[in-house]
């Protein structure tokens, strides 16, 4: 056998043996045996610890070196850490609800958006068992939302992922038409649903200063949400406009609800999200 090939075999043996060494199971190097005073000595193939043959069995001389204990401890720590990380990733503890929309989601005009906006109210209602995120952006249109907010960073498998989607008020203030805007909403909602989200969408409430032709588009849009194909596609509908018409969502400034108005809207949020999370 050529020297080079033999050297390669030794390296492979050493790599195979080293993990055994960690557990104290050493292997004497058969090629390195020396005799002295009728006793056979060698070294471990893996870790090179000195070994001696006693009553027919090879044993390491003295105790295993300290590094073996340290390496073993480090290996066990790494294993425990890895298991813990794996378990946490596979079993996320808390369900999540993301509120996506414009200033009426953000909570403009609420006395304390952290607790009296709609996301704030749901957090107070659910407590710390549920993660609530407020992705409301003042002034944003539904068209922009659908293009910008993918929610991919929020989604985790192994828990319930719920989104409450509200938007359109700013679109109608910018001359949007009902049919293309509904298509945008439907595509966005279906995309989220396909990504694993439980989706609820809200109707658009009246706002002061909307010209009559835009008011007609808003009403047509709401009819498509309430009576159109969304529900049969597994999308929940939160009819905020009906609550507003019934006087349960008073406005502070002609566009944004008062605290009492947000409380009125929040009842629909709570009914939808609690059902999605199977809390009742
Ligand atoms: Zn060894």
Mean per-residue pLDDT, 117-127: 97
Helix axis angle, 3-22 to 66-90, nearest 10°: 70
pLDDT in tens, 238-248: 999 999 999 99
Give 28: exposed, middle or buried? Use CB within 10 Å, 0-12, 13-18, 19+.
Answer: buried
d(CA 64, ligand 1 centre) in Å: 9
Asked whether the predicted pLDDT for residue 165 surpasses 80, the reply is: yes
So what's the pLDDT on residue 1?
A: 47
d(CA 166, ligand 1 centre) in Å: 66
Rounded CA-CA distance 98/154 in Å is: 8
d(CA 243, ligand 1 centre) in Å: 77
Strands 34-36 and 39-43: antiparallel
So what's the pLDDT on residue 264?
A: 98
145, 105, 240, 121: CA torsion to nearest 10: 140
Rounded CA-CA distance 93/35 in Å is: 63
**Average pLDDT score, the chain:** 92
So what's the pLDDT on residue 280?
A: 47
Instruction: Give percent of the chain above pLDDT 90.
Output: 71
d(CA 36, ligand 1 centre) in Å: 21
d(CA 1, ligand 1 centre) in Å: 26
Helix axis angle, 212-227 to 178-194, nearest 10°: 40
So what's the pLDDT on residue 278?
A: 87
The phi, psi pair for 272, rounded to 5°, reads -70, -50
d(CA 21, ligand 1 centre) in Å: 4
Rounded CA-CA distance 61/257 in Å is: 82
d(CA 58, ligand 1 centre) in Å: 11
Question: CA angle 84-89-95, nearest 5°?
Answer: 125
Strand ranges in the chain using DSSP code E only, listed in sequence order: 34-36, 39-43, 50-54, 57-60, 95-101, 130-136, 161-165, 198-202, 236-238
Asked whether the predicted pLDDT for residue 29 surpasses 80, the reply is: yes
d(CA 52, ligand 1 centre) in Å: 13
Mean per-residue pLDDT, 163-186: 97
d(CA 211, ligand 1 centre) in Å: 86
Q: For the chain, list the domains and their CATH numbers.
A: 3-87 (no CATH), 94-276 (3.40.50.1110)
Pull the structure tokens for residue 130. 């549920």
Question: CA angle 49-55-57, nearest 5°?
Answer: 45
Sign of the CA dihedral running 215, 100, 137, 256: positive
So what's the pLDDT on residue 279?
A: 67
Q: How many CA atoms lie within 13 A of 230 on its CB side?
A: 30
d(CA 42, ligand 1 centre) in Å: 11
d(CA 3, ligand 1 centre) in Å: 23
d(CA 31, ligand 1 centre) in Å: 15
DSSP one-letter code for 28: B
């Amino acid at each position: 056998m050529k020297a080079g090939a033999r050297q390669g075999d030794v390296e492979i043996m050493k790599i195979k043996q080293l993990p055994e060494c960690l557990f104290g199971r050493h292997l004497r190097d058969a090629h390195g045996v020396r005799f002295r005073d009728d006793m056979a000595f060698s070294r471990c193939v893996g870790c090179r610890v000195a070994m001696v043959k006693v009553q027919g069995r090879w044993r390491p001389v003295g105790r295993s070196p300290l590094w073996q204990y340290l390496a073993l401890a480090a290996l066990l720590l790494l294993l425990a850490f890895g298991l813990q990380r794996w378990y946490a990733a596979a079993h996320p503890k808390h369900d999540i609800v993301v509120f996506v929309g414009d200033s009426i989601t953000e909570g403009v005009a609420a006395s304390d958006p952290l607790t009296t906006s709609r996301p704030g109210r749901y957090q107070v209602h659910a407590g710390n068992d549920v993660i609530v995120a407020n992705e409301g952006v003042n002034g944003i249109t539904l068209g922009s939302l659908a293009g910008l907010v993918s929610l991919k960073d929020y989604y985790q498998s192994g828990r319930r992922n719920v989104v409450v989607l509200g938007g359109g008020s700013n679109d109608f203030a910018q001359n949007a038409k009902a049919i293309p805007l509904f298509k945008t909403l439907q595509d966005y909602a279906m995309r989220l649903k396909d990504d694993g989200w439980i989706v609820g969408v809200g109707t658009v409430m009246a706002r002061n200063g909307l010209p009559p032709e835009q008011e007609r588009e808003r009403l047509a849009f709401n009819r498509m949400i309430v009576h159109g194909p969304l529900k049969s596609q597994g999308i929940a509908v939160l009819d905020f406009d009906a609550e507003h018409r019934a006087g349960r969502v008073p406005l502070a400034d002609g566009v944004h609800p008062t605290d009492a108005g947000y409380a009125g809207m929040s009842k629909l949020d709570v009914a939808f999200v609690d059902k999605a999370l199977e809390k009742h």
